[in-house]
Amino acid sequence: MNVVSMNQIGKTYHLDAVDVPALIDIDLEIRPNCFTVISGPSGSGKTTLLNLIGCIDQANRGEVIIAGEAVQKLSDDALSDFRARHIGFIFQNFNLLPVLTVEENVEYPLLLARVPAAERKRRVGALLEAVGIADKARNIPGQLSGGERQRVAIARALAPSPQLVLADEPTANLDSHTGAAIISLMREMQREHHLSFVFSSHDPKVLAEADDAVMIRDGRIEKIERREQRKEGAS
Ligand SMILES: Nc1ncnc2c1ncn2[C@@H]1O[C@H](COP(=O)(O)OP(=O)(O)O)[C@@H](O)[C@H]1O
Ligand SMILES: [Mg+2]
């Protein structure tokens, strides 16, 4: 079963008296255990699309099904609970809590999920190790570089063991070398945790890293390339 299934999605923003159509007739399946990139120029609708997949925002038209659940039918409470259990987020600006240490930032979603203390400690330790930031566990985000902050954000997104992780232009605020390292880390985590991992980028170079590539332009899907086709193309 697909992790995300979107059927004839439309999203229009109302800005003063003007309608801004951000997404038009989107049909999209996101497959399990795949590293999927949403690629398109600035303003093409990437953030809007990820916000709909992440249940941060609602579509005006069409149907969104995530992990078998028609999310638009859930109440606000049920939706936040669903999001906390199934979906991890990584943002362009890292969005770490500045007063918490690295380990406290990663532990935070586990506190919300009422995971017992010993299990929290075990998971946080393992994740900080996995993303290569264990030596900075007691630092606060202000003492870290951009790349290090994004490693913390990746660990935090993975902490509640979600099946779907979303990253909105996770490398946009990083230099290209650090950005490439972050993409490799996300790929490694995707494989290790058998995640469905969706990230957006306006950089066409990252297409090569992905299993599936969704190209959007002016709010419409221009093209979807699946792993099988990409392999054939490469051989
Ligand atoms: N909150 C908003 N209010 C009005 N228009 C918006 C809002 N957010 C995005 N848009 C518009 O929707 C379109 C898609 O934006 P966005 O999803 O942010 O694209 P991207 O992430 O690819 O840069 C753009 O035309 C943008 O100006
Ligand atoms: Mg964006």
Answer yes or no: is the C-beta of 46 below 6 A from any ligand 1 atom.
yes
Q: What is the pLDDT of residues 61-115, one digit of tens each?
A: 999 999 999 999 999 999 999 999 999 999 999 999 999 999 999 999 999 999 9
Q: What is the CATH number of the domain that holds 208?
A: 3.40.50.300
Which residues are placed with Cβ below 5 angstroms of ligand 2, an ion? 46-47
Domain contains 197: yes
Residue 26 within a domain: no
207 falls within a domain: yes
Flag whether 24 is in a domain: no
Report the distance separating Cα 142 and Cα 144, nearest Å.
Answer: 6
Average pLDDT on 135-160 reads: 97
Entry pTM: 0.94
User: Which residues are within 8 A (CB) of 17 and not within 5 positions of it... i.e. 6 or more apart?
Assistant: none
Atom number in ligand 1 closest to CA 50: 17
183 in a structural domain: yes
- Report which protein residue has its CA nearest ligand 1's atom 6: 13
Q: Which residues of 65-79 are buried (b: 16+ CB within 10 A; e: fewer)?
A: bbbeeebeebeeeeb
Q: Specify the number of domains making up the chain.
A: 1
Residue 125 lies in a domain: yes
Range of the domain at 125: 32-47+75-234
**Is the distance from the beta carbon of residue 48 to the nearest atom of ligand 1 less than 6 Å?**
yes
Which residue matches tokens 């059927």? 7
The answer to whether position 109 is within a domain reads: yes
Q: How confident is the model at residue 209 (pLDDT cuts 50, 70, 90)?
A: confident
Q: Is residue 1 part of a domain?
A: no
Residues 6-29: pLDDT tens digits?
A: 999 999 999 889 999 999 999 999
Task: Answer whether 42 contacts ligand 1 (Cβ < 6 A).
Answer: yes
Round to whole Å and give the CA distance between 109 and 160.
Answer: 7
